[in-house]
Structure 1
Amino acid sequence: MSERIRVGVVGANAQRGWAHDAHVAALAQLLDYELTAVSARDAALAEAARAAFGAERAFGDSLALVRAPEIDLVAVTVKVPEHRAIVLAALAAGKHVYCEWPLGRDLAEAEEMAAAVTAGSHVAIGLQGLAAPAVREAARLVREGALGRPLVARVFSPTAGWGPAAPPHYAYLQDRRNGATLETIAGGHTLAVIEAIVGAYREVDARNSTRLKAVRVSDTGETVERTCADHMLVLGEHASGCVSTLEVIGGVADRPFSLEVVGEAGWLKIAGHQPGGFQVANLTLETSLPDARPLAPVAAELKGPPANVAEAYARLAADIAAEQRSVAGFDHAVRLTRLLHAIDTASSTGRRQRLEAAPA
């Protein structure tokens, strides 16, 4: 591998998309990385992205990018149904992989990709909220006992997505078979942060609801059926003994995210506001503890989508350099997928679900 980590971004688009909105700007601020190549669904789109982002090479075939010898790390930013083929090819080629969350369409796909990871590859799952400085500091305070025993966590997690209308490129998010839903995306990101701060869930009860079953596709006038939930309520008990309430709501762009933890010796609160969800926001931490120290961001000038992605990339680079594995990887993604399955089961059966203990 070269001195800098050479990145190939799969799913680049010069006009829109998560690579455009977050990955490219994040990588540009980190000296450990260089954007070497991009791919898109055809050669023309790939070339336009190459020119816009300053990459060296463009590929109209994503599998060709994955196998290119000059690529060290593959960033997978395409739609969820396309993750499996690209991730498996990248791992077979001996690459490091940063794959956006959700890892796969279902548990079987996630488990297959996790099983394919070898000792030579570092992998990261794109739960960038876990890398946010406010979340990491809150997790440290709870872990080190600064709040005493955590008693109650209350979380409100809104997103503008899954409202009454969707742009054409997000129409696929309404179909639960694609694995990219309010439950998996907004819910999964939020659940991961809750577990990072107050500990793994050991029991859940839930109600997932679909309030709007017909969704208008903007610009076309078409209507598609929504088969996923657009509202989640989760009641949980954690291994730490903390109990938690979580509401995830779609179609809400004007209310902030809020996570509050009350412990025996103090409290903390994380807040942020981005229509795309809290994981896209620059989060703030407020606490009753006088000696809590804010963590400095790796790129203070980044706001919105690139900010927490840059934090995740920086931690991955540190892992690669030190030959350690501290960032959330594919095993973490499998456990989170199982948690989501338990929540779905609790909602559909009306019965509380017990979860296996998280690995130490």
Structure 2
Amino acid sequence: MTDTSPNTGPNTGPLRIGFAGGNATRGWARDAHLPAIRALPGLAVGAVSARDQSLADEAAAVFGAPVAYGDTLAMVRDPGIDIVAVTVKVPEHRAIVLAAIAAGKHVYCEWPLGRDLAEAEELAAAARASDVHVAIGLQGTHAPAIRHAARLVREGAIGRPLNLRVVSPTAGWANEAPPFYAYLQDKRNGATLSSIAGGHTIAVIEAIVGPYADLSAINSILRDTVRISGTDEVVQRTCPDHVLAIGRHANGCVSSLEVLGGLPNTPFLFELRGTEGALTVSGHHAGGFQVSDLTVTATPAAAPQSAHVVAGLAGGPINVAESWAAFEADIRAGTRTVPDFETAVRLTRVLDAIDTAADTGGRVTIAD
């Protein structure tokens, strides 16, 4: 551990965040979480950890962290940390989340929560048995456009939702990947096109039109080998790079969802038709719709969507800042409004239903 500032005692100022998985040169924590937190006066970086001390020291210099840990579990036990942000690879989530909850820390965990439903249920049970606040990183649901669209539907602006068409492309899962994304090609790691791009999209679909009741699906591996850029290595892809799902929602709305990899220049499409009107959500980012600044268009014309809670951000940090602002507000007020580990379990069940439907060729009912 490298400590350049005392970090003990009760917190009367900003909530102090310990980053599990800081990286000085790349990564979602550096590129999205860090600018978001710097824009929120009620939050501060309190520590950062990495897989060894030298990497932690490098990350701390970039993050402005007063403490650097080469041991993440030691950081979790730091009495000066209020929130543990879990931004490591998905297979490493479980151990860190369980340790953080046991240490009485609030937890913000990147989506997906775990490698599979069993891990998600285990982590949700641990959170349920504690007094800590937990958040799952489904930042797309915090986008002002998504909240606005959900409010319009809830208030009956387009009548009863009838049918929804969604196309959700992303640059990832193409025919080439950088070395640090090689692990995304292996289904066993739980970080796939289905779970990441599909999960973020389904979370938004359910936020706007309500939960799926049942669905059918086709999973496809269109490119079964992946070149690792800058090397001669070729790895096998064992997870789908194309997902089609046809669903019926609890309110009777029917929906089609297509999730596609390898398409950095294709815009996001979300078209919802109701008995009294329609709305679209549009936007584009190579990293997926959840990273972009989205816009809602409704007919008949509706009130404009609200502005961002945090001004002055662009790209990835926009919706991440919205989610952090809501999580901070929950912790301080004792409320529980943000998507949490129970949300993650529900979403993982939907993803499991897609896999089951694709494997069996049948229609799968989704348990509550």
2:28 maps to 1:18? yes
Secondary structure of 1:129's counterpart equals helix
2:52 maps to 1:38? no
1:148 & 1:224 partners in 2: Cα distance? 49
Q: Quote the sequence identity (%).
A: 61
2:318 maps to 1:301? no
Could you tell me which residue of structure 2 aligns to residue 60 of structure 1? Answer: 70
Give the counterpart letter for 1:85 in structure 2: A
Secondary structure of 1:236's counterpart equals strand
C-alpha displacement of 1:260: 1.1
Could you tell me which residue of structure 2 aligns to residue 286 of structure 1? Answer: 297
Give the counterpart letter for 2:262 in structure 1: G
- Deviation string, structure 1 residues 64-102 (Cα, Å, up to 9, x no partner): 111100000000000000000000000000000000000
Could you tell me which residue of structure 2 aligns to residue 161 of structure 1? Answer: 172
Aligned with residue 350 of structure 1, among 358, 361, 365: 361
Give the counterpart letter for 2:255 in structure 1: S
After TM superposition, list the pairs within 5 Å mapping 1:314-325 onto structure 2: 314-325=325-336
Taking only aligned residues, the RMSD between alpha carbons, in angstroms, comes to 0.9
- Deviation string, structure 1 residues 238-277 (Cα, Å, up to 9, x no partner): 0111100000000001111111111111111111111111
Could you tell me which residue of structure 2 aligns to residue 100 of structure 1? Answer: 110
Q: Unaligned regions of 5+ residues in structure 1, if any? A: none
Could you tell me which residue of structure 2 aligns to residue 199 of structure 1? Answer: 210
C-alpha displacement of 1:288: 1.3
1:125 & 1:99 partners in 2: Cα distance? 5
1:220 & 1:6 partners in 2: Cα distance? 40
What is the TM-score when the length of structure 2 is the normalising length? 0.96
Aligned with residue 124 of structure 1, among 120, 125, 135: 135
Secondary structure of 2:172's counterpart equals coil
Secondary structure of 1:124's counterpart equals strand
Matched pairs, number: 357
- Deviation string, structure 1 residues 106-160 (Cα, Å, up to 9, x no partner): 1111111000014420000001000000001101111111111000111000001
Give the counterpart letter for 2:112 in structure 1: P
1:277 & 1:221 partners in 2: Cα distance? 28
2:310 & 2:25 partners in 1: Cα distance? 24
1:291 & 1:93 partners in 2: Cα distance? 47
2:25 maps to 1:2? no
Give the counterpart letter for 1:18 in structure 2: W
C-alpha displacement of 1:356: 2.1
Secondary structure of 1:125's counterpart equals strand
CA contact (8 A) 2:101 2:130 kept: no
After TM superposition, list the pairs within 5 Å mapping 1:127-142 onto structure 2: 127-142=138-153
C-alpha displacement of 1:289: 3.3
Q: Unaligned regions of 5+ residues in structure 2, if any? A: 1-10
Aligned with residue 244 of structure 1, among 218, 238, 255: 255
- Deviation string, structure 1 residues 279-323 (Cα, Å, up to 9, x no partner): 111111111132323111022211111110000000111111211
Secondary structure of 2:23's counterpart equals coil
What is the TM-score when the length of structure 1 is the normalising length? 0.98
1:129 & 1:278 partners in 2: Cα distance? 7
Secondary structure of 1:184's counterpart equals helix
1:146 & 1:291 partners in 2: Cα distance? 7
Could you tell me which residue of structure 2 aligns to residue 85 of structure 1? Answer: 95
